[in-house]
Structure 1
């Protein structure tokens, strides 16, 4: 009979003496404990290790323990029970953490026996969740969660779908997610083609294939994307750029689910889901006479619109951190993190290129920056911190410091969507202290 595995703990503590004492004691008590001295290191480990509990100091060298707790929730990572070690008169801060979902706290100096009992009880009441299956989540924003819920309803029914949104918002990613949901783990083809990238003379052969000798250079029979996607999903991107003369043939193929190869005579049945996407206003194209009305109604059976990235700020940092992990693994380097200033810079930028631009921004920073923590200049070549006032226009040193504080608090509140407790955690102060500063600086709370 295999022995029961030891409870696995995560310790986040920068004090060497305290850390060594806790590691030694908990190992003597039969725990498997991993010690991290920085919050960023713990953040990466908690997302993949499956701990029974976390013991974390609040004051840490890179960012506070309560910010670590908040960022885990922001990252859609369900953290294990957190027990905080607190001191320096920050009981009120610890109480606010309990309200935010922390399991418990102890104050310095604490009784080590009492701490072991608390942790043992937490481990009895919590079993680490198994690793989450690979998925393609669309983000944390309510708008994208609604899109994901819509896709789940459509996965087993919709055979035709129209996705709209500006260039770079992730339309192909949404199409891929619907395909994965519909296939439910079965291996099925997903074929994507950009209708605007194919010349008018070749698009019919690209879509429907051709027989040998159908035209000069056709040395052998070739299947088109309709046949390649048989049994799966065909993604027709930039459908608005489809040549007008080709639209009627596409409509016939979509209605009949049968195609005829160029140079052929026999109709070939195809069974597939067709997802179309465009960044254009197809209704306006219909009115202008450049897009067939019957094809418009055929592809617009179900319409999913993807909002701009700047209209869903909750997703900006979530995707930025996801891209950081992806590029760190791809290039085999140390995992990167974003400084608070870098997070503010990302949230303040309007992202005209949407997710595609954000991905390129993070990739460039990972390639060019050698530091583990990215700063705003690493992300934006022409970055300028507009939160800092012009010293010549402010006046005295006290006035300058007051204006800096006001702008930084306003930026943090915007980053936290007006949530006072989250903003206080990011700022490293208590909720009461933040309220007092807001009152003194004339900052109004969001309603």
Structure 2
């Protein structure tokens, strides 16, 4: 059961909210003053918080700011505000508050927002192992779209978005909605050598080519009745696109060197950071395949278009590090939050994750090493932004692999020589 900390001084509204929330299946603890509510949140027993901005002893904004200064891990918080204090609510959003509602309060909207923050869908039932995609309106809307799409298990889906926005994360979210007990198989079309991609996709029979000493199922077969995720579909060789089209249309394939048809019930989910329509116009992507893989289509907005998710994601990444390395507990300070919000994150969620991993690894005590985080205002060129993201990824991987060149190169998918060259270019030194 989801635990809600309600901080509301109005006895009539407070009682009404408690009754409604409990009817909706929430466990509610109601506090009438900011001081009592702040102590309750500091205890860390609440999953969500609903806070009135106007309280008798201190404002909801002051309450939230004090908890941030004291480095308390605050649950997703929704504020209730009058029209005259919307500026305070907007300021709270910048500091990490999840959302706000204006008075007169719509209880239905409140319940919907709380369910979205808790990652609850389909009539309020929790999906085991499920986590929300974000707390921004755009990501909550996207999650709702995926809920509808999950009901059409055989229809191909195309996921678009810039590099690093989390296209595979969204595909796995759909998998949890649609078929959590079936396989999820992911393939990066850009990472496979052109000579191997056909065998990887469609499999082969024994003796089909030199080195094929046994029958091997391709990823279509491996996915079974689950989901096959083809990342960077725009990089698939043109010669293979016609065969992929036949498989998608007929839902059958023939292994290399074979003659028997094999059924492929898996749902095809493709992703790309490229403009496939432009590739079609340039003759680099088949038009018929383009229309076939984008029967359903969604676009993941870049992180700069959903700043509400920045601090939410940051808290999760820092918490994940704490679970992996419990002896090194790091906490985001208010200064850290301001610095993260000032950055435009050209590398999107991937850049944010790498930056925070590096800051956690190089931090001391509870403090993160964000002092040298590369803020967007100092980097105006696309090339400079890409280089900053690459350097952050290299430094994080080096620290993660205990500064082993071999292990770090393998982790990044590059050669030792390439890693050494990039370290020299960016001035990254081995600390050991």
Structure 1: stretches of 5+ with no match in the other structure:
1-8, 10-38, 51-55, 80-98, 102-128, 387-447
Provide Cα deviations, 1:117-161, integer angstroms capped at 9, x if missing partner: xxxxxxxxxxxx999953231111111111111000111115210
Residue 291 of structure 1 corresponds to which residue in structure 2?
285
Which runs of structure 2 are paired with 1:105-144 in the superposition (5 Å)? 133-144=128-139
2:269 corresponds to 1:275: yes
- What is the CA distance between 1:375 and its match in structure 2? 6.4
Residue 166 of structure 2 corresponds to which residue in structure 1?
170
2:220 corresponds to 1:222: no
Measured in 2, the distance between the counterparts of 1:301 and 1:384 equals 37
Residue 67 of structure 1 corresponds to which residue in structure 2?
65
Residues 40 and 337, structure 1, Cα contact 8 Å, conserved in 2 = no
Residues 253 and 262, structure 2, Cα contact 8 Å, conserved in 1 = yes
Measured in 1, the distance between the counterparts of 2:196 and 2:327 equals 43
Provide Cα deviations, 1:380-418, integer angstroms capped at 9, x if missing partner: 3456999xxxxxxxxxxxxxxxxxxxxxxxxxxxxxxxx
Measured in 2, the distance between the counterparts of 1:278 and 1:291 equals 12
Which runs of structure 2 are paired with 1:171-250 in the superposition (5 Å)? 171-183=167-179, 186-250=180-244
- What is the CA distance between 1:243 and its match in structure 2? 0.1
Measured in 2, the distance between the counterparts of 1:161 and 1:348 equals 34
Residues 162 and 304, structure 1, Cα contact 8 Å, conserved in 2 = yes
Measured in 2, the distance between the counterparts of 1:250 and 1:131 equals 36
Q: 1:260 aligns with which of 243, 254, 264?
A: 254
Measured in 2, the distance between the counterparts of 1:290 and 1:299 equals 15
Bigger mean CA deviation after superposition, 326-335 or 247-256: 326-335
Bigger mean CA deviation after superposition, 224-233 or 155-164: 155-164
- Give the TM-score normalised by structure 1: 0.59
Larger Rg: 1
Measured in 2, the distance between the counterparts of 1:44 and 1:352 equals 37
Measured in 2, the distance between the counterparts of 1:165 and 1:385 equals 23
- What is the CA distance between 1:66 and its match in structure 2? 3.7
Q: 2:144 aligns with which of 149, 169, 177?
A: 149
Residues 381, 147 of structure 1: alpha-carbon distance in 2 compared, 3 angstrom cutoff: closer
Measured in 2, the distance between the counterparts of 1:76 and 1:49 equals 5
Measured in 2, the distance between the counterparts of 1:274 and 1:213 equals 28
- Give the TM-score normalised by structure 2: 0.61
Moved beyond 6 Å, runs of 4+: 56-59, 68-74, 129-132, 383-386
Measured in 2, the distance between the counterparts of 1:40 and 1:283 equals 55
Measured in 2, the distance between the counterparts of 1:293 and 1:333 equals 54
Measured in 1, the distance between the counterparts of 2:236 and 2:366 equals 46
2:358 corresponds to 1:364: yes
Measured in 1, the distance between the counterparts of 2:215 and 2:126 equals 46
Residues 261, 267 of structure 1: alpha-carbon distance in 2 compared, 3 angstrom cutoff: same
Residues 355 and 373, structure 2, Cα contact 8 Å, conserved in 1 = no
Residues 344, 198 of structure 1: alpha-carbon distance in 2 compared, 3 angstrom cutoff: same
